[in-house]
Amino acid sequence: MSNVHPVILCGGSGTRLWPLSRKSYPKQFVPLFGETSLLQDCADRLRGPAEAPFAKPLILTNEAFRFVVTEQLAAAGIDPGPVLIEPEGRNTAPAILAAALYLKQQDPDALMLVAPSDHVVPDKAAFHAAVEKGVQAVAQDRHLVTFGIAPDRPETGYGYLKLGKTPDASGKAVPLDHFVEKPDLERARQMVADGTYLWNSGIFLFAVRDIISAFEAHAPDLVDPVRVAVEKAKADLGFLRLDRDAWEPIEDISIDYAVMERADNLSVVPFAGGWSDVGSWSAVQELSNPSEDGVATAGEVTAIDCRNVLIRSESPAQEVVAMGLENMIAVAMPDAVLVASMDKAQDVKAAVAALKAKGAKQAEQLPVDHRPWGWFESLVVGDRFQVKRIHVHPGAALSLQSHHHRAEHWIVVEGTARVTIDDKVQLVSENQSVYIPLGAVHRMENPGKVPMVLIEVQTGSYLGEDDIIRYEDVYARS
């Protein structure tokens, strides 16, 4: 199925899994289950079956995540195809249309398999079999295909698909009658009992030419500006930046509202192989292999006499002890802790909104700040000093920069750093240190083949991240 081109949507903010998932590093990049992230699992699933692999995936993401995406895919041994950078998030319809218009230039006969980067589908073989059923529907009937999940409970957090007829055991695509918005509990119970309703997975398959025709028929106002954004896209360090001027006025709208709910050539492939959009902490609990008492834990956790709980410690230095809890969620991060009733799992976004309203940085920022060259975290912050741990990937380099308000001391604790201070370049090895005076033009590089870690002590009147003047940057950041 090399004609199937996976399109991975990777720009969401993931606020429903706060505090682990935040705007600065949302859930698709987090190893929620095991050692790999949801993005890595998605990309691995979208390689296709060994006997009929799919094409390289096309990724849509944003400025902030572009290096995280390529770094995680490289770590998983996955070579991505084009990575398109959206200037601003405009929901799924413009993103999918941009991917279709780009693919049309490369392969007019391509099929697009569109998937969010943050879903869990445990059974890859069953998923590939369902995609094959979808390919048949696209090839035979030129249908736009969506994948519907056989419901195992009356869920109020998902939209539903009303089928035109009851699906049979073959798993072949069936006509879609209409979409149903997220229901209340009683309506959800009725739909599950009916047998002709499936959960809407947000995964789609269609021919490039067919989805473009559907946009031209049902959302014509999107077509010209998105086409211009693709045609005027600029290559940048291996990425393709969609044109900002054309993109900014584009409507923020989902593919369901823009096209799918208006088209009359839709089919649904039923899927019963297991699926979750991991849209709440209660979903995480269900996917975490809870005990017979419903106790699911992760990290350094001790749970005593608890039932139906999710307890997670996200720091190896932080022991979380839970005693006598029922129907509770507790997620502990070094800078924030969530404690909530399990029946409030769908309302975590409201907590994030409340934190933003009070100006709490924990609403959107993790204590670890990921950069193209690696990451850093603040260990101690005082009135006129800050201590950071900085991790630099092999071969990576920070920008050549200076600061108006702070001086820095660097102590290498792992590896070797190549340090530039004004006109002087020197190697600083493990257990050695160097001082960067206020105003000095400096750079830190890792010339080795192993990660380099140093402790940075900043001193000065202002220690904000915006006190950086960049002179050169291999990552083309402004």
Q: Are 10 and 89 in contact (CB under 8 A)?
A: no
Same domain, 315 and 462: no
Number of Cβ within 10 Å of residue 413's Cβ equals 12
* Residue 477 counted as domain residue: no
* Residue 22 counted as domain residue: yes
Same domain, 294 and 182: no
Both tokens assigned to 351:
């907590």
Helix or strand holding residue 339 (H, E): strand 337-341
φ/ψ of 19, rounded to 5, equals: -95, -5
Same domain, 107 and 132: yes
CA–CA gap between residue 37 and residue 60 (Å, rounded): 17
Residue 173 is part of a domain; what is its CATH number? 3.90.550.10
* Residue 249 counted as domain residue: yes
Q: Which pLDDT value is given to residue 478?
A: 64
* Residue 362 counted as domain residue: no
Same domain, 44 and 125: yes
Q: For the segment 311-330, what is each residue's pLDDT rounded down to a tens digit?
A: 999 999 999 999 999 999 99
Number of domains in the chain: 3
Q: Which pLDDT value is given to residue 2?
A: 62
Q: Which pLDDT value is given to residue 144?
A: 96
Same domain, 260 and 293: no
Burial pattern 34-43, b for ≥16 Cβ within 10 A else e, equals eebbbbbbbb
Both tokens assigned to 57:
């995936």
Given 357, 380, 401, the domain boundary residue is: 357
Same domain, 382 and 295: no
* Residue 102 counted as domain residue: yes
CA–CA gap between residue 147 and residue 385 (Å, rounded): 54
Same domain, 267 and 285: no
| Residues linked to residue 311 through DSSP beta bridges, in sequence order | 297, 330
Q: For the segment 194-204, what is each residue's pLDDT rounded down to a tens digit?
A: 989 999 999 99
Same domain, 252 and 314: no
Helix or strand holding residue 146 (H, E): strand 144-149
CA–CA gap between residue 275 and residue 283 (Å, rounded): 11
Residue 420 is part of a domain; what is its CATH number? 2.60.120.10
CA–CA gap between residue 29 and residue 6 (Å, rounded): 18
* Residue 478 counted as domain residue: no
Length of the chain: 478
Same domain, 195 and 150: yes
Given 306, 329, 357, the domain boundary residue is: 357
Same domain, 47 and 117: yes
Q: Which pLDDT value is given to residue 84?
A: 97
- For 353, the domain range is 281-357
Given 271, 300, 321, the domain boundary residue is: 271
Same domain, 222 and 90: yes
* Residue 363 counted as domain residue: no
* Residue 276 counted as domain residue: no
The residues, ordered by sequence, that sit 6+ positions from 413 with a Cβ below 8 Å of its Cβ are 430, 431, 453, 454, 455
Same domain, 199 and 323: no
pLDDT < 50 stretches in the chain: none
